[in-house]
């Protein structure tokens, strides 16, 4: 088994692949590569083929660097819509005198991923908020392990969204020959990468402003209390600049990055940018104060939405660590001043600096790498996420369904399934697996036949004389 853990971040601006290993000094990112996104909008895959090409290239780069193949990855989950709800549950233990074990508590969490939801929705993350026994109320996960009792009461926070978000990622992995390790909410991964331990304990809001969306995660007492996704980010700023200043999207992105300010009051008055193309032809002019005004308007809207999320979570007065901002928009000037004024919290900018070993690849310390690095951290040393470790589940239970049925529903723990029913279910799964394997082999054989036909057709075409050969032959005879 490889000592490395790999993770893929399907971002709207970049697809990133990070690979790390666990050392006595911490987790070191040994490989980090990214590429511009194609086929991804607001964290959702809209073109499988384009994403597959990007992932294949990144995997090949990393494999060549590590001198070993990459066979499995953890992935980040994001999207336009994310919902949450509280889910209490009670577990009656058959042996009240037995110690409560780590595996027992992990199984309680795992079953929450099979909660019944409306429509085509699945649980992305099931985060335990607190536990209680007959003797103790409101205890943490670590306090629960080793206690005894006949009943465990647990309160969970479920974060859920459309099943297609997971399915399309798994489809891309399958086409690239990759297996799924864990599926983790992207904002939780970003929080793990950039937040300090005191911040996570005392309370903090992580704000990751990406290209297509802004993700918020609130952490208190080392527990994720709330997660939300706001459906606009850096792209919205670029679109506003393009429309308001009547320039192309390319120029809008360039001047946003190089000259953008979040506060109009800090912009230089009566100063213009002259936009010249590669042929030294003027494409337009932009007043810096007008540029700052446009950016401030959209960024204010984003931070107003962030404040609403924090207020609705009920933790506005409980995050003494303030707000930590990461993501591509971190590079905008005066973002701290604007965020502090609108959020009423202390604000700092962050990248994966203190969470990974200092000998990690240099690119892994950038704000653009926050999510990918966090996915590696949560894969190797879970702290905030309680995602199912699918690889270990498959190794322990060979009859477990494939990655495509990661979030299937099962019977509640209170029901005892008859041995005969379990055997019937196992046989059905085995028959289904065999059917899928036969179908895969049929498709593979059909593909090979088509390739052989194309090869023969090309050979036949190559052996046929061209029209010019025929004409020249006729002239020679004449």
Domain ranges of the chain: 84-164, 198-349, 422-478
Residue 417 has pLDDT above 80, yes or no: no
* pLDDT for 114 beyond 80: yes
Angle between helices 234-245 and 249-259 (to 10 degrees): 110
pLDDT score recorded for residue 392 = 61
Are 93 and 153 within 8 A, CB to CB? no
- Quote the pLDDT of residue 73: 97
The whole-angstrom separation of Cα 478 and Cα 467 is 17
Q: How sure is the predictor about 145, in pLDDT bands with cuts at 50, 70 and 90?
A: very high
* Token representation of residue 63: 């494999």
The CATH superfamily assigned to 198-349 is ATPase, nucleotide binding domain (3.30.420.40)
Strand order in the sheet with 4-10: 26-36, 14-23, 4-10, 72-77, 179-185
What pLDDT sits at residue 80? 82
**pLDDT(401) > 50:** no
Q: What is the CATH number of domain 84-164?
A: 3.30.1490.110
**3-state secondary structure labels for all residues of 325-357:** EECHHHHCECHHHHHHHHHCCCEEECCCCCCCC
Least confident interval from 350-364, 367-381, 403-417: 403-417
- Least trusted range by pLDDT, from 218-227, 246-255, 280-289: 280-289
Residue whose tokens read 């999510």: 371
459, exposed or middle or buried, with CB in 10 Å at 0-12, 13-18, 19+?
exposed
pLDDT over 70 (residue 461): no
pLDDT at residue 18 greater than cutoff 50? yes
Percent of the chain predicted with pLDDT > 70: 87
Q: Which residues contact 225 (CB under 8 A, 6 or more apart)?
A: 129, 157, 218, 219, 313, 315
Residue 80: CB partners within 8 Å, gap ≥ 6? 42, 43, 44, 213, 229, 231
Closest by CA to 266, choosing from 346, 336, 216, is 336
Instruction: Output 388 or 468, whichever has higher pLDDT.
Output: 388
Higher pLDDT, 49 or 405: 49
| pLDDT exceeds cutoff 70 at 469 | no
Question: How high is the pLDDT of residue 43?
Answer: 85
| pLDDT (mean) for 220-233 | 95
Residue with tokens 């009920």: 314
Q: Is the pLDDT of residue 207 over 60?
A: yes
Structure-model confidence comparison of residues 458 and 287, the more confident one = 287
Mean model confidence pLDDT for the chain: 87
The per-residue pLDDT for 27 is 96
Confidence tier at 390 by pLDDT (50, 70, 90): confident
**Confidence label for 424 from pLDDT (cuts 50, 70 and 90):** low
Mean pLDDT to the nearest integer, 8-15: 93
- Residue 86: φ, ψ to 5°: -85, 140
**pLDDT score for 398:** 43
- 78-104 average pLDDT score: 92
Q: Which two tokens stand for residue 310?
A: 């924090």
Q: How many CB atoms lie within 10 A of CB 175?
A: 15
Q: Tell me the C-alpha to C-alpha distance, in Å, between residue 179 and each of 173, 232, 322, 439.
A: 6, 31, 38, 19
Residues 6+ apart with CB under 8 A from 388: 110, 113, 182, 183, 406
């Amino acid at each position: 088994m490889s000592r490395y853990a790999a993770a893929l971040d399907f971002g709207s601006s970049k697809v990133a692949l990070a690979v790390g290993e666990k050392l006595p000094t911490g987790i070191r990112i040994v490989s980090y590569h990214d590429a511009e996104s194609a086929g991804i909008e607001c964290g959702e895959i809209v073109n499988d083929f384009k994403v597959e090409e990007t992932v294949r290239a990144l995997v090949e780069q990393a494999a060549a660097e590590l001198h070993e193949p990459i066979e499995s990855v953890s992935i980040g989950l994001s999207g336009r819509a994310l919902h949450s709800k509280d889910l209490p549950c009670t577990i009656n233990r058959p042996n009240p005198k037995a110690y409560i074990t780590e595996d027992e508590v992990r199984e309680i969490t795992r079953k929450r991923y099979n909660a019944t939801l409306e429509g085509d929705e699945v649980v992305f993350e099931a985060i335990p908020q607190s536990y209680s026994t007959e003797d103790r109320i409101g205890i943490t996960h670590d306090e629960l392990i080793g206690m005894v009792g006949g009943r465990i009461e647990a309160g969970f926070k479920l974060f859920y969204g459309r099943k297609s978000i997971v399915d399309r990622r798994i489809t891309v992995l399958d086409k690239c020959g990759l297996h799924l390790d864990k599926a983790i909410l992207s904002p939780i991964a970003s929080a793990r990468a950039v937040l300090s331990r005191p911040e996570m304990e005392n309370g903090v809001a992580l704000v990751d402003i990406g290209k297509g969306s802004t993700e918020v995660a609130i952490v208190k007492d080392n527990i994720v209390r709330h997660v939300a996704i706001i459906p606009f980010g850096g792209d919205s700023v670029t679109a506003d600049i393009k429309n308001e200043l009547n320039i192309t999207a390319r120029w809008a992105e360039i001047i946003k990055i190089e000259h953008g300010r979040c506060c109009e009051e800090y912009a230089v008055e009566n100063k213009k940018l002259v936009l010249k193309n590669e042929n030294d032809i003027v494409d337009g002019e932009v007043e810096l104060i007008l540029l700052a005004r446009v950016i401030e308007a959209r960024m204010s809207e984003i931070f107003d939405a962030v404040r609403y999320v924090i207020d609705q979570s009920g933790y506005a007065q409980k995050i003494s660590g303030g707000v930590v901002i990461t993501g591509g928009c971190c590079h905008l000037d005066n973002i701290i001043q604007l965020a502090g004024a609108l959020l009423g919290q202390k604000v700092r900018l962050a990248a994966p600096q203190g969470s990974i070993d200092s000998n990690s690849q240099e690119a892994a310390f950038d704000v653009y790498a926050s999510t990918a690095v966090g996915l590696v951290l949560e894969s190797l040393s879970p702290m905030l996420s309680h995602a199912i470790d699918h690889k270990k589940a498959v190794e322990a239970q060979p009859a477990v369904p494939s990655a495509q049925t990661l979030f299937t529903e099962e019977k509640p723990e209170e029901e005892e399934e008859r041995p005969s029913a379990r055997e019937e279910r196992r046989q059905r799964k085995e028959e289904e697996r065999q059917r899928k394997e036969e179908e895969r082999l049929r498709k593979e054989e059909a593909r090979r036949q088509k390739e052989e036909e194309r090869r023969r057709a090309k050979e036949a075409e190559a052996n046929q004389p061209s029209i010019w050969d025929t004409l020249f032959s006729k002239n020679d005879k004449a």
